[in-house]
Amino acid sequence: MTAPASAAAGVREGWTRCQGCGVTLYAPRLDRALGVCPDCGHHHRLGAAERLGQLLDKGSFVQAPERLRAVDVLGFADTRPYPDRLAAARARTGLDDAVLRGRATVGGHPVVVAAMEFAFLGGSMGAVVGEEIARAADEALATRTPLLLVVASGGARMQEGCLSLMQMARTAQALARCGRAGVPTVSLLTDPTFGGVTGSFATLTDIVVAEAGALIGFAGPRVIESATRRPLPAGFQTAEYLYAHGMVDRVETRQGLRPLLTRLLALLAAPADAPPAAGGPGGPG
């Protein structure tokens, strides 16, 4: 089963405005640049299918066959009932929930992959997202295949209350099982990555890569400023700031993500006594 057609990436027509510098851009030109503004370098947000289309080998993605859908166990309603929000998100994204999971290859190297969809209720983590991440980790463990998590989320899903918070422990335990068994795990943090997702599986992998310019944190900056009553440092919660303070292992531009993941997976697959590949970690370049 391949990715849903309605969620597949496609070349847009017409014009669009850069969210970074405000310049009007020809949309096909922006798409050819992988969604990176050629004028200011701003990395525009991507959907899960678009992201996988850029990172994975063409035609290699096979979606997991299970259809998991959230249910309104709490009878939650704010300005709209939770079931109405779910139905609208499914219609808008073509996905059953805020994650797209399956198997694929990157540079010929097999991976179990789960990519989050921010357009689905802010990529929030409810019971289904927690289950999808746990199943991805369990499949990686059972097949001893590296796990790749592509993260974009506002945090836990408030409409599921404490059930969503329980997913922090569930996903953390799933990654811990991979770690104890020596199964490699890699996370790619994209804009935005916040809340209980940052506080659990997103930052618990063996290697944490952040896309250039991504905003990453737990609470939002306004909440932190209100609590501390102090101004925040310049660039606070950007990928670059977190890298400078040892919170992520690597910051990479979008154009460099696929080559970087290919090198990492080659390194992880190599025997312990094998020399580093040219241009890879530890090698030239």
Same domain, 194 and 105: yes
Same domain, 232 and 95: yes
Q: How many domains is the chain built from?
A: 2
Same domain, 111 and 137: yes
Same domain, 197 and 254: yes
Same domain, 64 and 178: yes
Taking 70 as the threshold, does the pLDDT of residue 208 lie above it?
Answer: yes
Taking 90 as the threshold, does the pLDDT of residue 9 lie above it?
Answer: no
Taking 50 as the threshold, does the pLDDT of residue 180 lie above it?
Answer: yes
What is the overall mean pLDDT for the chain?
92
What the block records as the tokens of 190 is 């994209």
Tens digit of each residue's pLDDT (9 = 90 or more) over 53-83: 999 999 999 999 999 999 999 999 899 999 9
Question: What domain range is 23 assigned to?
Answer: 17-41
Q: Is residue 27 part of a domain?
A: yes
Same domain, 174 and 212: yes
Q: Say whether 206 sits in a helix, a strand or coil.
A: coil
Same domain, 34 and 142: no
Same domain, 29 and 94: no
Same domain, 90 and 68: yes
pLDDT band at 269, cuts 50/70/90? confident
Tens digit of each residue's pLDDT (9 = 90 or more) over 102-139: 999 999 999 999 999 999 999 999 999 999 999 999 99
Q: Say whether 84 sits in a helix, a strand or coil.
A: helix
* Residue 58's CATH number: 3.90.226.10
Same domain, 113 and 222: yes
Between the alpha carbon of residue 241 and those of residues 132, 150, 165, 250, the distances in Å are: 30, 20, 27, 11
Q: Determine if residue 156 is left, alpha or beta; phi over 0 gives left, psi from -120 to 50 gives alpha, anything else beta.
A: beta
Please report, to the nearest 10 degrees, the dihedral formed by the alpha carbons of residues 108, 114, 119, 124 taken in order: -160
pLDDT band at 278, cuts 50/70/90? low
The CB density around residue 7, as the number of other CB atoms within 10 Å, is 19
Question: Between 82 and 276, where is the model more confident?
Answer: 82
pTM: 0.90
Same domain, 35 and 97: no
